[in-house]
Chain A
Amino acid sequence: MSVHPGPPADASAPPAMLPLVRPADQGLGELLRELGTGLATVVQKDLLVEWRARAQLVALLGFSVVVLLLFSFAVGPDSNVLARHAGGYLWLALLLASTLLLARSLQVEVESGALESLLLAPVRAPAIFYGKAMANTVLLVIVAAVALPVDLALTGAQIQQLPPVLLAIVLGAAGIAAPGTFYAALTARVAGRQLLLPLLLFPLIVPALLASVKATSLSMAGDPMGQLPSWLALLACFDVIYWSLCGLLFEKVVET
């Protein structure tokens, strides 16, 4: 029998944390291939999970439509005001829908312990992050694809330039998805996560939201002053920052 008298004497010793993995002993090509395989599998898996549980996606689409309806009722019958703010309504509907989508995206992993399975597979944390963020971007674009025609119908707005609108939607969705995925992972294991996620996410994405609304509204109005490229560039810059920082920090969040 092996009996120990108690815990270590140095109770205040700092815990020995696992350091980040340094891929120094791995070739760059092999590392990229491994990241790419993990990322592609996570994207495929997330989209498959959403497709199999498509009732929830349909509910999300319904939610975004209801939000747009509420905006149009709240503003009233003034068609000029409605048309002028059509871009803003669209993005607010997408933002509210995104909190439900993003929270679910990580809840699926955490509740069943699937996130640990991914880490043990082993899939590198950045591959998990970028895979999930890409899948969430695709899903947000799908929500936008349904919400946009409804928005146009309700507000009476018209799209003068379609490609910039589509670009703004993709960039804006990416701008919500990356920090949203990060914060969803951060709050997935805590009580009150449904409240915490928007509380953390909304202030962070204000610049991207502003740029998305401006780019969408200018595209709808035909961009009379030629400001659209600047807003799109600004949006792309925010995306680069969000995707880089969140990708770097994600490992810290999931490996604790």
Chain B
Amino acid sequence: MSPLASAPAVSVRDLCRRFGRRWALARVDLDVAQGERLLIVGANGSGKSTMLSILATLLPPTRGTLRLFGMDPLQDRLAVRRRIGIVRHAHGLYEDLSAADNLRIRARLVGRSVDVPAALRGVGLDDRTEPIRTFSAGMRKRLQLAALELESPDLVLLDEPFSALDPAGCADVAALVRNLPGTVLMASHQVERASAICDRAILLDQGLLRWAGPASQAAQAWKAVQLEGSARPSAAAVTA
């Protein structure tokens, strides 16, 4: 077995990212094994989305090292990107095109030949032919996940997959996420729901990694950190 095959899906050391004078992430160390499902919790502005953008190679870190499947995105950006799929707040789809058009384009871009009607059937969108600008938030999210399944990435990054969804939509998305193969890193405010489909969790607070442990204890850890209030250390406070 090659060393890369057994390398962690994600390995970051001293990961930092600064926007202007504000540190969005500071000194984060993290390893995520292949096949693991990691939940990232934290308040708004805690650095969750920044971290996912760095892991997706869309944002360069200010400092620190990052290895994805043992590869350095600085050296092997395209090879790394072939193994990554991401669902973000911005859906990354074309509003004027239908769901089928969007999937066809995505399939062509990733070089896969895909049964588009079957992929749409899998997310309950096979009867929708209108432009996706008319879709609800839940339908867009399901389409994003269908596009993700089509790419079959080894590392799936999900940024608030349950946002703007009603309970039924959340349940649908949770079921789809549960079936995703590979390593999953999910940032979510819905700790109870997300922890049910993750193995492990970390808690980011004002750019710092404050806690890591079993996903089942994530809600408890977050409450504890929130109770610490303004006394807790932060990257922003130290740089001020």
Residues of A at under 8 Å CB distance from B? 1-8, 10-11, 13, 15-19, 21, 37-38, 41, 44-45, 48-49, 52-53, 108, 111-114, 116-124
| Interface status of B194 (Cβ within 8 A of chain A) | no
The distance in angstroms between the C-alpha atoms of A114 and B58, with both chains bound, is 12
> With A21-B78, A38-B109 in contact, is A112–B92 under 8 Å at CB?
yes
Which listed residue, B90, B105, B212, touches A2 by the CB 8 Å rule?
Answer: B212
B16 touching A3, Cβ below 8 Å: no
B88-100 near A? 1/0 per residue, CB < 8 Å: 1111111111100
A52 CB to closest chain B CB (Å) equals: 4
A45 touching B94, Cβ below 8 Å: yes
Residues of B within 8 A of A2 (CB): 29, 209-212
Please name the residue on chain B nearest to A40 by beta carbon.
B108
Which listed residue, B86, B93, B101, B105, touches A41 by the CB 8 Å rule?
Answer: B105
- Which secondary structure dominates where chain A touches chain B? loop
> With A112-B91, A117-B92, A120-B84 in contact, is A5–B108 under 8 Å at CB?
no
B238 touching A7, Cβ below 8 Å: yes
Residues of A within 8 A of B97 (CB): 48-49, 52
B78 touching A122, Cβ below 8 Å: yes
A18 touching B57, Cβ below 8 Å: yes
> Which of B34-42, B59-67, B176-184, B185-193 faces chain A?
B59-67
Please name the residue on chain B nearest to A20 by beta carbon.
B77
B16-54 near A? 1/0 per residue, CB < 8 Å: 101000010011110000000000000000000000000
The distance in angstroms between the C-alpha atoms of A52 and B111, with both chains bound, is 23
A53 CB to closest chain B CB (Å) equals: 4
Residues of B within 8 A of A17 (CB): 60
Which listed residue, B63, B74, B98, touches A8 by the CB 8 Å rule?
Answer: B63
Cross-chain pairs A/B with CB under 8 angstroms, 29 sampled? A1-B211, A3-B208, A3-B210, A4-B26, A4-B233, A6-B233, A6-B239, A7-B27, A13-B62, A15-B60, A15-B61, A18-B77, A41-B108, A41-B109, A44-B108, A48-B97, A49-B97, A52-B96, A52-B97, A112-B91, A113-B88, A116-B90, A117-B93, A118-B109, A119-B81, A120-B81, A120-B85, A120-B86, A122-B78
> With A4-B27, A52-B97 in contact, is A116–B92 under 8 Å at CB?
yes
| Interface status of B110 (Cβ within 8 A of chain A) | yes
B16 touching A8, Cβ below 8 Å: yes
Residues of A within 8 A of B128 (CB): none
Residues of A within 8 A of B78 (CB): 21, 122, 124
Please name the residue on chain A nearest to B58 by beta carbon.
A116
